[in-house]
Amino acid sequence: MSTLRRIAFLIVLLLAPLPAQAIDIQSVTSPGGITAWLIEDHSNPLISLAFGFKGGASGDPQGKEGLATFISGMLDEGAGGIPSADFQKRLADHGIEFGFDASLDSFTGSLRFLSDDQNLAFDLLGLALTKPRFDDEPVARMRGQFISSAAQDERDPQAIAGRALNNILFAGHPYARRTDGTPQSLAAITVDDLRGFVASNFLRDRLSVAVVGDVTPDQLKPLLDKAFAALPEKGAPIAVAEAKVDGQGGLAVIERDIPQTILLFGAPGIKREDPEFFAAYLVNYTLGGGGFSSRLMSEVREKRGLAYGIDTDLVTLDHAGAIMGGAQTVATQAAQVIDLTRAEWAKMQAEGPTQQEIDAAKTYLLGYYAQNFTTTRSAAQTLLGIQMSDLGIDYVTKREQEISAVTLDQAKAAAKRLFDPAKMVVVAVGQKDGLKPTRDAP
């Protein structure tokens, strides 16, 4: 198949949904001891792979923030005996999609390719993970791109608000540092730092792998060894302490002469392993996580037209749990949006959700989850997330059971525990019009 025909064919396949069927997740272990979760789908000759290592940007050394992110941009820039241009040409010629990402707690990667190219794709991945080149030209080029992006973020109001909120909620903890780095920290990162990150973090005992598509367990086993068997077995434990999330509440204002005011808010939350997580999940959906069906959207947008959107989310990190949300509004209405948000938090804490709201939240949250398995890519990413959260291979079934089992009393208890308006901190970036800060902005 020619390169252009191969790429066109792959594009068509990427748009094709998985067939409707029960989700059969198999645990597959290679001769070399690499375990992956597999969903077989032979309806199209396409394979999606997602993998991740525990430990991410929160482990970046002080003064070299952005190291993990830097690595995420370098792994398709040459490996082994293949320089950058040739490596990327092989990917392009075969329509192989490589992607990597560094979050606070993990370093993840994903591949999509035609099943005919499975050997090549796994070979290239194995080289990228174990023998990245870090040649001078691509290092300099990617450093320039990351520095430029970091410099733009220093002027972007949304990014300014996000950094300020993180600095308040996670003060003194690595979670407060910038995952994308600063121009200064990115300039300080050396090739030895890049190699050190790979050696310290790409370890088999931190690895999770998910595969979805046109491959059988027996075919997958040697492929897993191609990509991952040469990784070191283990290294030093992850040295990130538990974070104490700020619960002092208040308003911090960062003045900028812009027409729209960015509002971000946060408070102590709940970790994923907490027994009350699903009760909190349903309550958050009711308050601010449910789009147009949420109370905040109703009060702020639908009734008063004060903002295009407003939302809340449960942020579940490995070493902390938080509630975060935000809105954007004209400067003269920012104080009103803040007051309404606090009032809805207070009402939720005092009264909790209604049975009708909890039933509606259950219906949606149980129904939408199947959409995560409609393409090979989204299915692989979903499986990886389940693995990295240590939720178990039967989680798809358990999730439905646990959500269904949440009672109204449990939801009310979670609301009372979590949605305390006195603990909600708001960061406003924009004009100070009508805003009265009660704490300093970091």
Rounded CA gap, 184 and 62, in Å? 12
* Residue 288, pLDDT above cutoff 70: yes
> Cα(187)–Cα(396) distance, rounded to whole angstroms?
44
The share of the chain scoring above pLDDT 70, in percent, equals 95
Model pLDDT, residue 23: 85
Whether pLDDT at 19 is above 90: no
Cα→Cα distances 234→127, 177, 192, 238, 387, Å:
19, 26, 20, 11, 18
Task: Say whether pLDDT at 5 is over 50.
Answer: no
- pLDDT at residue 21 in the model: 53
The 3-state DSSP composition of the chain as helix, strand, coil percent (nearest 5) reads 50, 20, 30
Length of the chain as a residue count? 442
Q: Please choose, from the candidates 26, 341, 3, 21, the residue with its C-alpha nearest in 3D space to the C-alpha of residue 215.
A: 26
- Indicate whether 426 pLDDT > 60: yes
pLDDT tens digit sequence for 223-278: 999 999 999 999 999 989 999 999 999 999 999 999 999 999 999 999 999 999 99
Each residue's pLDDT tens digit, 176-222 = 999 999 999 999 999 999 999 999 999 999 999 999 999 999 999 99
> Which band of pLDDT confidence, cut at 50, 70 and 90, is reported for residue 2?
very low
pLDDT greater than 60 at residue 13? no
Measured CA to CA in angstroms, residue 309 lies from 43, 229, 263, 327 at distances of: 39, 47, 11, 6
Superfamily of domain 250-430: Metalloenzyme, LuxS/M16 peptidase-like (3.30.830.10)
Instruction: Tell me what the pLDDT averaged over the chain comes to.
Output: 94
Q: What's the pLDDT at 22?
A: 66
Q: What is the DSSP letter of 173?
A: S
- The fraction of the chain above a pLDDT of 90, given in percent, is 94
Q: Quick check: 66 and 258 in contact, CB under 8 A?
A: no
CATH 3.30.830.10 fits 3-228, yes or no: yes
Asked if residues 374 and 433 have their Cβ atoms less than 8 Å apart, the reply is: no
CATH 3.30.830.10 positions along the chain are: 3-228, 250-430
